[in-house]
Structure 1
């Protein structure tokens, strides 16, 4: 049953707030400090923690107008009037900005408060005083009262501190605006850097809102993060995106029939190590898929990397076999052999797809991908390939 309340619009509003905050902090100087849901939707502070600019954000999914009796406009004025009356902001030292996707009609109060040559705050305050004194809109009574509670001098000071940024980009149009700010990023990598930056940023905003000890997000922090992400796109590196990936909750290892899992069971590896192997497999699979989707790999790079992995595995296997009696048919010895090879891969091998890709799950997971192929291109148990037909039949 419809209640007339749109959770979707509200969610878009929150996302617009976060995305707009990212755009604004990239637009400001590096030393800028930003807080969300502090004095206002977004507040910029100087190094002495004084509010420099308060921003109210209004997002609409349909065309809207910022008239003299606009609900958006008057609710914003109520917030700022209250802050001024309570001495929480100092005017004219603090800029009050309304960022809205709505359009200010010509000759409206909002129209005269845009940062253009036609700005006229005197005309704007007269229009607002008139509306506050004559309107019978009961839903805005609290907003009118807050404005009328100010002295005429305070009203003039308040309105003169307001700037209206109407017809602003909506949540979708903000994306290319943010990408334009990534000037140090190579053009072919800009989309990939942006996706990772925004993912980090949304997490940062959530932490900022949840943790009261995190007072500000600084421009320096954002710039440093851009540099960190951008470094992953250098010729000798690749981005690492799935370090925190978890195995799906509904996963049951006993029902996992994949070949690489069967291989580990054949050498009697304990279940916890098998779980970690499965996680490495997931991470590497997702990571390699994302690299491929974003076209970050050179021609045949994965295939060449897998050949290197196989060659190093084979060399270690052969060296270890030289230490094993030719006639040994002891299953416990075979399992011990397999665990030694697996231990080498898991703890000692360091075979990188590129020199600066140091995250171990890429190599470990790639080995499990090879062990899962049909037929397996690597194996741990020295007799595994001989048993494969029988093993598959039983599993």
Structure 2
């Protein structure tokens, strides 16, 4: 059942800010790679061309069915913003254009239709209509009148001639499908996760821009480069890597963690730091393959076949490590053999990749720990006597 919005809800404002970022990303995919964008500088979005051109864009994400009328605040508030920039940038010497992207339509009979993208009316008529509305006794336009009156007739015509209204602008929920159409060179089944990766990076870049962490504009070339890099990860011989810097939440307790793979590592009498690194590998590999599964990036049976391959390679090297041990071998010899087997799994198995171009080390290291954690019995173990001792413990417990 849908929840009723509180009268204090800021959902619409929040949606508007999110729309700015998502819409700017969509436009960036269509702009020349030499161009750049600002968010919330002189307007909602600002498009900067290498030739010195500038487009200030006001974005209005409105309720379905909303219409622009002669006295729409959406238009006149934007005019106030644009006029301030027009005056500051030399009026007729300015190189700025002013764009209004609105998810609704222009009401029938409104003079604003003269500013629509496909309007064939000459700008003198549009400027005259705008000036006539601005002279009406409307309280919302009082503050704007003085600024408009400061323009002479040529400047007014020049100013209004820079305005274009784009109606039926895509809604925020429509944008992923529009991005999808721009990714025709990418396999259909990976376009959605690819968009989500790209938007995640873009959102962080926008946040850096808004917080001042970043001073330079968002470059269209950056978007192209990042998209190309992400697309490479979704090729048939590759998989995306999302957890390179991730760590489990909370404190890592190498001494008390009850999981089977951690108990195995403690049996080898490893340092606490060694065990902590293994716990991190386990976490990253587990989360990574869960992400691949959620995004439907894996071929049926691919994980199982990969695990079987690792188990076979482990079994081969285990025989090498354990071949000189006897039933009465000292604990020191057992520990040495087990540590060597673990060292091999952590350091010498980089060639055992789930796909040819998946070279991230935590994938294979972590999957070995996942196999060491299998229930009811681990599929790999390190200490030569671990399974025997586990059976004894379980037998006593039973």
Tell me by how many angstroms 1:287 deviates.
Answer: 1.7
What corresponds to 1:217 in structure 2? 218
Q: Per the alignment, in what secondary structure is the counterpart of residue 173 of structure 2?
A: coil
2:329 equivalent to 1:341: no
Task: Quickly say closer, same or farther: Cα 1:28–1:255, change in 2 above 3 A.
Answer: same
Closer, same or farther: CA 80–385 of 1 in aligned 2, 3 Å: same
Corresponding position: 1:231 with 2:232: yes
How far off is 1:17 after superposition? 0.5
Aligned residue among 6, 10, 31 for 1:7:
10
Residue matched to 1:124: 126
Secondary structure at the counterpart of residue 342 of structure 2: helix
Partner Cα separation in structure 1 for residue 155 and residue 18 of structure 2? 34
User: Residues 56-100 of structure 1, C-alpha deviation per residue, up to 9 Å, x if partnerless?
Assistant: 111124432211211111110000001111127766632211111
Aligned in 2, Cα 1:143/1:67: closer, same or farther, shift over 3 Å? same
Query: 1:290-369 alignment to 2 at 5 Å?
Result: 290-324=291-325, 326-330=327-331, 332-350=332-350, 351-369=352-370
Q: More displaced, 198-207 or 142-151?
A: 142-151
Instruction: List alignment gaps of at least 5 residues for structure 2.
Output: none
In the aligned structure 2, how far is the partner of 1:157 from the partner of 1:228? Answer: 43
Aligned CA RMSD, in angstroms, stands at 2.4
1:390–1:143 CA distance, 2 compared to 1 (3 A): farther
Q: Contact 2:86–2:96 (CA<8 Å) still a contact in 1?
A: no
C-alpha change, 1:117 and 1:125, in structure 2 (3 Å) is closer
Shift of 1:107: 2.8
Question: Quick one: distance in 1 between partners of 2:187 and 2:388?
Answer: 50
Distance 1:121 1:91, change over 3 A: farther
- CA change 1:175–1:390 in 2 (3 A) is same
Aligned length in residues:
390
Contact conserved, 2:253 with 2:276, CA < 8 A, in 1? Answer: no
Q: Summarize the alignment of residues 40-189 of structure 1 with structure 2, pairs less than 5 Å apart.
A: 40-47=43-50, 50-87=52-89, 93-137=95-139, 139-189=140-190
Q: Which residue of 1 aligns with 2:29?
A: 26
TM-score, normalising length: structure 1: 0.91
Give, in whole Å, the separation in 2 of the partners of 1:97 and 1:257. Answer: 61
1:142–1:323 distance in 2 versus 1, CA, 3 Å:
farther
Q: For residues 156 and 33 of structure 1, what CA distance do their matches in structure 2 show? A: 28
Contact 1:92–1:157 (Cα < 8 Å) also in 2: no
Change (3 A) 1:200 1:213: closer
1:97-136 Cα deviation digits (max 9, x unpaired): 1111132112323211011144443333233222322233
CA displacement 1:275-316 (0-9 Å, x = unmatched): 222222222112212222333222321111111111121222
Distance in 2 between residues matched to 1:214 and 1:182, nearest whole Å: 29
For normalisation by structure 2, the TM-score amounts to: 0.90
Counterparts of 1:266-305 in structure 2, within 5 Å, are 266-305=267-306
Higher deviation after alignment, 142-151 or 346-355 = 142-151
- Range moving further from structure 2, 311-320 or 364-373: 311-320
Q: CA deviation at 1:38?
A: 2.4
Flag the 1:364–1:174 CA change in 2: closer, same or farther, 3 A.
same
Q: Is the 8 A contact 1:78 1:142 kept in 2?
A: no
Deviation at 1:260, TM superposition (A): 1.0
Larger mean CA deviation between 126-135 and 302-311 belongs to 126-135
Alpha-carbon offset, residue 255 of structure 1: 5.0
| Shift in CA distance, 151/14, structure 1 to aligned 2, threshold 3 Å | same
Structure 1 segments unaligned to the other structure (5+ residues): none
User: Deviations along 1:130-168, whole A, 9 cap, x unmatched?
Assistant: 23222332x443334433333332222111100001121
- Residues 105 and 167 of structure 2 are in contact (CA less than 8 Å); yes or no, is this contact kept in structure 1? yes
Separation (CA, whole Å) in 1 of partners of 2:144 and 2:272: 64
